Amino acid sequence: MQDKAPLSFENTEIAFGRYSNADLKRAKWLFGMFNYRFIVNYAPPVTSVALKMGLPVKGLVRRTIFNHFCGGETINDCDRTVGVLHENNIGAILDYSVEGHQNVKEFEANAREIVKTIEKASTGGAYPFAVFKPTGIGRFSIYEKVSAKVTLSSDETEMYYAMKDRFKMVCKRAHELGVPLFVDAEESWIQDAIDDLVEEMMVLYNADKPLIFNTVQLYRKGRVAYISQLYEKARVQGFKVGLKLVRGAYMEKERERAEKYGYPSPIQDNKKECDADFDAAVKLCFEQRDITKLCMGTHNENSSMLLANMIDEAGLERNDDRFWFAQLYGMSDHISFNLAHAGFNVAKYLPYGPVAAVLPYLSRRARENSSVAGQAGREISLIRTELARRKSASA
């Protein structure tokens, strides 16, 4: 067996090779802004109001946070970024990141746009997956009532079945074109309805191979048990399991809601427990690899190294299509590009959409960088290391 190149997440030359010095300095400034809670909390709503009033702030948003975290305003706008990623052996997951819609016309328009991303993903190896957010095609309150097993009114029942039809239409198109499709996770109090729908789609479309993926948030308690139960169902009912594992994105909101309504928080008591469950889930999925395709969506270096080592120690090819790593575009390039350089399967979530419409997404990215311990600081430190390396090399 040919020796495999050692994997390190410290190689900043590989991580930032496509960036100019000016690009890196702009990124360092941007991540520095995330350390100021006042800016993170108030800049997004102020910017949103300014855009609605027609004030000339769109250019500033586009040149800074939008360009760093998004591929463009349309699918075609993303082509250049997709090409750069592909040249570095990294796939792109087109993510139509428009949120907060409430009416049927918007849901139907979103479903059509998601289908376009699936069709784009079917055109070649630059797009290993497609993705959609359930609340982009259906009303949050309906998912919430179905999850709580509340009896729906006749109008709500009609909305639910229309939402389910859109859900199935998107999954069916992915199946027709053979495109693996992620269904994103959402807040815990609407997730049961989403889990049920995804499992129904797995039964329909995952008989031969894993195409429909559920997303499991391991910052929640009890999700390793959920994965174990899902495997039991899959073995009995004869379908394959697609899973994307993430830590989670709604921690503060979850805890606030639990306190408000007086129920135990579904969130892990501390980071150590979250990390332990995440790694346990990775190991469980690896053990079930005969019926599994796994995407590990994380910015955590230890978990990334864990799966990489498991693949090597099992004597598998590093590009075994059953195992993928994924990070958000604009973040953790030291993980993504070094994994890809070492021969592992890597993809980047590439959000796109009109600048004003993706502000909620960008706001969440800003909050994530400010709330996750050391995230922005780690990015800044790596950028400084690369700038120093370049200065030394040029000297």
Return the pLDDT at 179: 98
Least confident of 9-13, 33-37, 122-126: 33-37
Structure tokens at 267: 């969130």
Return the pLDDT at 1: 42
Reported as a single tens digit per residue, the pLDDT across 16-52 is 999 999 999 999 988 888 776 655 564 666 566 665 6
Whole-angstrom Cα distance, residue 228 to residue 92? 29
Looking at domain 71-378, does it have CATH number 1.10.600.10?
no
Phi, psi dihedrals of residue 247, rounded to the nearest 5°: -80, -50
Return the pLDDT at 365: 65
pLDDT at 123 over 80: yes
pLDDT at 128 over 70: yes
Cβ of 171: how many Cβ atoms within 10 Å?
A: 24
pTM beyond 0.85: yes
Q: Give the domain ranges of the chain.
A: 71-378
Whole-angstrom Cα distance, residue 144 to residue 196? 13
Return the pLDDT at 50: 63
Return the pLDDT at 6: 85
User: Which is higher by pLDDT, 216 or 376?
Assistant: 216
Return the pLDDT at 364: 67
Q: Taking the alpha carbons of 6, 9, 15, 21 in that order, is the dihedral positive or negative?
A: negative
Return the pLDDT at 31: 86
Return the pLDDT at 360: 75
Reported as a single tens digit per residue, the pLDDT across 326-379 is 999 999 999 999 999 999 999 999 999 988 788 777 776 666 655 555 678 889
Q: What angle do CA 339, 342, 347 make, to 5 degrees?
A: 35
Reported as a single tens digit per residue, the pLDDT across 230-283 is 999 999 999 999 999 999 877 888 999 999 999 999 999 999 999 999 999 999
- In this prediction, residues 209-216 reach a mean pLDDT of 98
Residue ranges in the chain assigned as alpha helix (H):
12-15, 21-33, 37-52, 58-61, 67-69, 79-87, 104-121, 140-147, 154-177, 188-205, 223-237, 251-261, 271-287, 301-313, 333-341, 359-371, 375-394
DSSP character string of 91-156: EEEEEE------SHHHHHHHHHHHHHHHHHHTT-TT---EEE-GGGSS-HHHHHHHHTTPPPPHHH
pLDDT at 188 over 90: yes
Return the pLDDT at 218: 97
Reported as a single tens digit per residue, the pLDDT across 50-103 is 656 666 667 777 788 888 889 999 999 999 999 999 999 999 999 998 776 778
Beta bridge partners of 349: 93, 328
pLDDT above 90 covers a percentage of the chain that reads: 77
Of 1, 7, 93, 3, which Cα lies nearest the Cα of 310? 7
